[in-house]
Amino acid sequence: GNTKMQAITRNRCVCPNIDNKATRLMTSAYTTVLLPFVYLIIFIVGFPANVLAFWVLIRKNKMTSSTTFLISLTVADILLILMLPFKIAYHFSGNNWIFGEHMCRLVTASFYGNMYASILCLMCISIDRYIALVHPFASKVLRSQKIACYGCLVLWVAVIGSMIPFYMINQTHNITTMTITTCHDALPSNDQAFLFPYVITIFVVGFTLPSCVTLFCYGSVLRTLIRNKKKYLFAVKITALMLVMFIVCFAPSNIILVFHYSDKSGHEKKDYLYYIHTLSLSVSSFNSCLDPFIYYYVSDEPQELTSVTLSTTPFVIPAHC
């Protein structure tokens, strides 16, 4: 009990030795050049795009439930992107964290938290579209801005609460053989074991369930439009797009996260998983760049092109649908 409390309250954990493979990994061009370069691109593209998207959304004359969820999604993207300069500096400096233990905990929790906030916001948007088009009569009651605001409030409270475990353990560790301090890269096995049940839970609640709900909603919308002989090209595009986004951006990072925190892997396998884990996290960050732009390129109608250039959902169907 005392050992665990000391691990929680100490500012830093000293790890005097790491093996040669881990040393090569921490000093490789992959972690000190490629990863920060990827994050730098995401920051340069994603920050102005999302700030502009946020500005356009809040200036809309009529705030709807969809707009409320889109603003929440944009906020999640902006908050995630604001964490990237710290990760960029960390990796460019040879994986040496200079911002302190508490800032490392904040960046780690914010990075994961905003990723799951994005997933949940996308789920809320899909539910909003589902109610509007599959249950149009109920939409007048259920699709109010007030309900959307309450939904966003619950979403953010849940996300912030779910990140508490990252604050409960030390995230920085002094590697004396390399004279560096890592951030969330060299967790002791007891800390990994402590986080593993949490990782499993958040994998189910924060990724698997929202993914199923999102794909179900867009699939139901597509079936409804086909059955009613309405134009469904946009529905096909958004369904395919959501499938790609969840498979490419979110699935790898969440699946690898489970294996990364599992104690069943050997050291060689863990080294291999570290490469995939860090790569998958950088890929998941690309979602924050795609949100403001990607729907522009799947729109065909000039009027819709104008209305969703900076929106994160192209699925704008006339009210009579």
Handedness of CA 160, 161, 165, 168 (dihedral sign): positive
> In which region does residue 214 sit, left (phi positive, over 0), alpha (psi from -120 to 50) or beta (all else)?
alpha
Class of domain 2-307: mainly alpha
Q: What is the pLDDT of residue 127?
A: 92
Which sequence spans correspond to the domains of the chain? 2-307
Distance CA 128, CA 124 (A): 6
Q: What is the pLDDT of residues 172-224, one digit of tens each?
A: 888 777 788 888 877 666 777 778 889 999 999 999 999 999 989 988 888 88
The answer to whether the pTM exceeds 0.85 is no
Q: How far apart are CA 74 and CA 94, in angstroms?
A: 31
- Token pair in block for residue 277: 């884990």
> Within 10 Å of residue 83's Cβ, how many Cβ atoms?
21
Beta strand ranges found along the chain (DSSP E): 13-15, 172-175, 180-183
Q: What's residue 180's pLDDT? A: 86
| pLDDT on residue 298 | 38
Nearest to 312 by CA among 38, 57, 41, 47: 57
**pLDDT of res. 129:** 85
CA–CA separation, 238 and 315 (whole Å): 7
Give the integer Cα–Cα distance in Å for 50 and 108: 21
E-state strands within 103-255:
172-175, 180-183
Is the CA virtual torsion 169, 175, 181, 183 positive or negative?
A: negative
Instruction: Identify the segments of the chain with pLDDT beneath 50.
Output: 1-12, 14, 16-17, 266, 268, 295-321
